[in-house]
Amino acid sequence: MDRSLNVACIQMRSGVDIGLNVETVSAMIRQAAEDGAELVATPEMTTLLDIRPGQTREKAVQEQGDPALKALQAVAADCKIWLLVGSIAVTLEDEDRLANRSILISPDGTTFARYDKMHMFDVDVDDGQNYRESRAYCPGETAVVAHAPIASLGLTVCYDLRFPQLYRALAQAGAEILTCPSAFTRVTGRAHWHTLVRARAIETGSYVLAPAQGGDHEDGRETYGHSLIVSPWGEVLAEAQGEEPGIISAKLDLSAVAAARSRIPSLGLENSFSVTGFTLAQVEKGC
């Protein structure tokens, strides 16, 4: 049985104007769909990238009432595609901090799965900036595999990429495609981005979709770009050249997942250590 899937990743340079970000990404999603994409993925912080203290908190709302998310759900329904909104910032009940939430939308415009980024980027980077994501964001506790009709997707976000035990758990739970929407800094991206994305694909025998933010942002952040689509054998199938906004695409042969895992059957081996710190949810019929 043919199990092919046309996918696209959107590379953005999101700013501090939510309306403008939504307008920009909506046009790019529609273009990707017109070009044949059945699954489109956008970067981390698609609708707002603003690391200035308090600014994102001031503009964030709960997921159910987010007009930006509703607009993107309407685009998915209109284009009849699966849409991974890489992440948005949402408020939480009984919690002062936000969630950095990745949302998978089905072709009918409803939310099929959601995942809150678990690993917080608390790092001093050699770019003149200090990042303390845990001050503003509450880490998620649940890993998510979304068993959609098109494929089984393991959802992650950005800094999660440095924690291979998460990706192994997602692959062992049936994920064929691992998504990693990101906003890697220019410094860490130059040093590690390609190696980490390819390593997660090779280790798990999975496709990896890694749509990214790129360029100099209004809030002063500098991101690396170079969005990637990588095969289960670690081959780069598509890459955005540099930091400019754009669309990359590829046709995935999902049978390649089983083939790669049979050639290197490391997922079948029992872990020599216990993976702790999160539970795992498998979404089969939508939220």
Residue 12 burial by Cβ neighbours in a 10 Å radius (0-12, 13-18, 19+):
buried
Residue 140 burial by Cβ neighbours in a 10 Å radius (0-12, 13-18, 19+):
buried
Q: Is 285 a catalytic residue?
A: no
Q: Is 117 a catalytic residue?
A: yes
- The DSSP output letter for 44 is T
Of 9, 38, 79, 117, the active-site residue reads: 117
Q: Is 70 a catalytic residue?
A: no
Q: Hey, CA dihedral for 71, 78, 174, 167, is it positive or negative?
A: negative
> What span, in angstroms and rounded, lies between the C-alpha atoms of 176 and 208?
9
Q: Could you give phi then psi for residue 174, rounded to 5 degrees?
A: 110, 0
Of 9, 38, 44, 239, the active-site residue reads: 44
Contacts 24+ apart (CB under 8 A), 124-127: 125/185, 125/187, 125/188, 126/187, 127/185, 127/186, 127/187, 127/222
- Residues 6 or more apart from 108 whose CB is under 8 A from it? 77
User: How many residues does this entry show for the chain?
Assistant: 287
Q: Which two tokens stand for residue 52?
A: 């200035």
Of 158, 176, 222, 243, the active-site residue reads: 158
Question: Are residues 118 and 101 in contact, defined by beta-carbon separation less than 8 angstroms?
Answer: no
Catalytic positions, written as ranges: 44, 117, 158
